[in-house]
Amino acid sequence: MIYSKKLYPVKNIFNLIIFILALLNFNLVAAAMPVPAPPSVAAKNYYVVDFASGKVLAEKNPDVQVEPASITKMMTSYVVYKELEADRLAMDDIVDISEKAWRMGGSRMYLEVNTRVSVHDLLKGLIIQSGNDASVALAEHVAGTEEAFVQLMNEYAAELGMENTNFVNSTGWPDKKHLTTARDIATLAAAIIAEFPEHYEWYAEKEYTYNSIKQYNRNKLLWRDDSVDGMKTGHTDSAGYCLVASASRSDMRVISVALGTDSKKARANVSQALLNYGFRFYESHTLYDAGEVLSRPRIWSGEFETLTVGLADNLAIAIPRGAYDNLDAIMDIDKNIEAPVSKGQQIGVVKVSLEGKELVSVPLVALETVNEGSIFQQAKDYVLRLIN
């Protein structure tokens, strides 16, 4: 048997005020802002997503495979972060610079062959200066060869759900088999921000000096828009000018991916327009936190009489700006919950809807383990259930 219970986010007090004012004949209308079509921009592919909820705010050819150029280095850095996290690598580890790394063309941090450089400095050169030489040096240090490192890149891509991605090198050097999509890149960007916030900060740095050579971050939005704090540019003749950007305004973070523009200026302008669109017409809210107790339903034959239930993960949504007060959240729980119940076991769902349209349905889980009760408790509950 299922019962439904209305869940009220923080808005309930505000709703009461609105109701009272309406009774006093105040002409108040709570209407969401109309959401127009995304801006017409000069990018072959783009993708705009709310970081907290994962809601897509705008897209164009999001699953068409393209060459990503130096945006590839986001995955190179992600693999390095994973090695650091697992204590298989340290920032002060020293890397021997091979001739292959030294000979890399394109953007470089100007490493010298047979010198020794720290992982810390190479990561700075990779992220801020987009150094191809730094990418190869890190790849060789982590996996022995760049080819072996690429296997790690593709394994992590698969784990993240980057279904249309295939890496061939660590740099983004042109190759017709080196492909990804705007959607997959956004997935990677979100993973870096969520899993490694302490390293993500480097994507906001505007310059880095190595070997007495100062180079500037090619992400021009870092100078134009204070809300932008990352992430990565890319350019080859085959890929065009590309930019992954992330910005945070008023507790909302938006990630944009713009691929295949025709100039440095265009990729910045396109990304700015896409970010502005996301922030202008949408708002993001975390309705319930992971582990927050949402209900204490009756549990039968257990060591306790009630069970605390909630969500395993934060429940965040992105909705048209001004629509928050039209949200409804319903909790459906099995009325006949019987011990034993394990922590994390699903016992219902939470459904969030906007003006009658369901936005999301997520599992409602036990926040604790409840074992079977004593023989006396089980007998008592048996009688109570017969009576009821």
| Secondary structure class of 75 (helix, strand, coil) | helix
Q: Which residues have a Cβ under 8 Å from the Cβ of 311 and sit 6 or more positions away? A: 288, 289, 290, 291, 292, 294, 350, 362, 363, 364, 365
Which member of 77, 107, 130, 301 is catalytic?
130
CB neighbour list of residue 108: distance below 8 Å, 6 or more residues apart: 129, 131, 132, 133, 134
Together in a domain, 276 and 304: no
Q: Is 130 a catalytic site residue?
A: yes
Amino acid at 353: S
Q: How many domains does the chain have?
A: 2
CB 350 within 8 A of CB 294: yes
Question: What is the average per-residue pLDDT within 254-275?
Answer: 98
Write down the pLDDT at residue 30: 53
Asked about 107 being catalytic, the answer comes back as no
* Residue-wise DSSP of 258-300: EEEESSHHHHHHHHHHHHHHHHHHEEEEEEE-TT---B--BEE
- The pLDDT tens digits of the residues spanning 233-243 come to 999 999 999 99
Same-domain check for residues 343 and 368:
yes
pLDDT value of position 24? 42
Q: Span 345-353, mean pLDDT?
A: 97
3-state DSSP call for residue 350? Answer: strand
Same domain (yes/no): 331, 194: no
Same domain, yes or no: 197 and 273: yes
List the CATH number of the domain containing 349. Answer: 2.60.410.10
Q: Indicate whether 130 and 160 sit together in one domain.
A: yes
Structural domain containing residue 300: 289-387
Asked which of 251, 284, 317 is the last residue of a domain, the reply is 284
The two three-digit tokens of residue 371, written as one number: 């074992």
CATH of the domain at 112: 3.40.710.10
Residue that terminates a domain, selected from 224, 249, 284: 284
Q: Is residue 66 part of a domain?
A: yes
The single residue of 53, 70, 107, 284 carrying the catalytic annotation is 70
Mean pLDDT value of segment 344-362: 96
Q: Is 60 a catalytic residue?
A: no
**pLDDT at residue 4, rounded to an integer:** 43
- Distance CA(365)–CA(345), nearest Å, equals 5
Q: Which residues of 356-366 are buried (b: 16+ CB within 10 A; e: fewer)?
A: eeebbebebbb
DSSP track, 81-103: HHHHHTTS--TT-EEEPPHHHHH
Residue at token pair 């810390």: 120
Average per-residue pLDDT in the chain?
A: 92
DSSP state of 232: E
Asked whether residue 182 carries a pLDDT value surpassing 90, the answer given is yes
| Catalytic-role residue among 53, 55, 60, 73 | 73
- In-domain check, residue 37: no
Its pTM stands at: 0.89
95 pairs with which residues across the strands? 117
Per-residue model confidence as pLDDT tens digits over 114-160: 999 999 999 999 999 999 999 999 999 999 999 999 999 999 999 99
Are both 239 and 92 inside the same structural domain? yes
